[in-house]
Structure 1
Amino acid sequence: MTNWREDRIGSALRGENPTVLQRLPGGFAVIGDVQWLPGYCVLLTDDPAVGRLTDMPRARRLVFLESMERLGEAVERACAESDPAFRRINLEILGNTDPYLHAHIWPRYDWEPPEIVGRPVYVYPRQRWTDPATALGPRHDPLRAAIRRHLA
């Protein structure tokens, strides 16, 4: 069996990706492996051959973008309920690292360092992506459940 992290879309299609929150018309809503910004989610395309938004016909692009907006709103509502310091969400389609289409939904908080809070999350130190202290785990289950509830 392939490690789900090595085949995120294939493992989601097979029902083996533990980060999947819900299948949406435009792909899979997943909670991020890391949660240094609690509620971080990603919308994965359900077609691993799609590398960029422009690879899809216009109608399919709009479905993906609508699903991104739906996941963004669910994250926004769940984070606002769980943390009074919730500020806003950032929606990003970057495509610089992973070869498949995906969109990041980043919650932003007033407790973030002032020199970072108004900037892209990628100015955070690189080790944030591998810090075991912020790895997705059972302590994130209430937030995961709230995002699912708002997606329903």
Structure 2
Amino acid sequence: MTDWRTDRVRAALDGRNPTVLAELDAAFAVVGDVQWLPGYSLALTKVPGVDRLSDLPRADRVAFLADTDLVATAVENVCARRDAGYRRVNVEILGNADAFLHAHVWPRYDWEPEALVRKPVWLYTPDHWRDPAHALGPQHDPLRAELAAEIGALRGETRA
């Protein structure tokens, strides 16, 4: 079986993508592979083979964007409760590197370097993406649980 990273959408549909926080109407809420900005999450399309928002019919685009908003709201709520230095959330749909529709949800913090705090997150050096210290791991389980619970609460779901 191929690594889940090879086809993140198919792996999510098959239940093999370990980053999935919740299945939404048009997207999967997933936690980011890296966590140098704690809470980094994404909305990942549920439609294999779709690599841009405009590939979807309008109603499906609106549903994907609504799910992206839900993920962003959950990240904002959780990060604001967890970190007094939380500033805001940035939402981006780029698609320049990965050929599948996804929206990045980046929490931003006052404690970020002054030269970067008001700039796009992509200006951080590439080592932030590769440094094992920033990799998603068991130390992020409490954050993942909070994000999943917040998504459920926003959707009106109750947990027993």
Do Structure 1 and Structure 2 share a fold, with TM-score over 0.5? Answer: yes
Percent identity (aligned): 56
Which residue in 1 is equivalent to 2:71?
71
Q: Equivalent residues in 2 for 1:8-19 (5 A)?
A: 8-19=8-19
2:58 aligned partner, one-letter code: R
Which residue in 1 is equivalent to 2:83?
83
Distance 1:26 1:105 in 2: 16
Post-superposition CA distance 1:85-117 (Å, at most 9, x none): 111100000010111110000000000001100
Distance 2:134 2:30 in 1: 16
Which of structure 1's runs of 4+ aligned residues deviate more than 2 A? none
The alignment status of 1:127 with 2:93, answered yes or no, reads: no
Distance 1:52 1:125 in 2: 26
Specify the SS of the correspondent of 1:43: strand
Which residue in 2 is equivalent to 1:140?
140
Q: Give the alignment's TM-score, normalised by structure 1.
A: 0.98
135-144 vs 109-118, greater mean Cα deviation: 135-144
RMSD: 0.7
Q: Give the alignment's TM-score, normalised by structure 2.
A: 0.93
Which residue in 1 is equivalent to 2:21?
21
Which residue in 1 is equivalent to 2:116?
116
1:48 positional shift: 2.0
Which residue in 2 is equivalent to 1:102?
102
Which residue in 1 is equivalent to 2:30?
30
Specify the SS of the correspondent of 1:44: strand
Post-superposition CA distance 1:132-152 (Å, at most 9, x none): 001001111111111111101
Post-superposition CA distance 1:66-88 (Å, at most 9, x none): 00000000000111111111111
Distance 2:70 2:46 in 1: 16
1:46 aligned partner, one-letter code: K
Which residue in 1 is equivalent to 2:56?
56
1:124 positional shift: 0.1
Which residue in 1 is equivalent to 2:155?
none
Unpaired segments ≥5 residues, structure 1: none
2:112 aligned partner, one-letter code: E
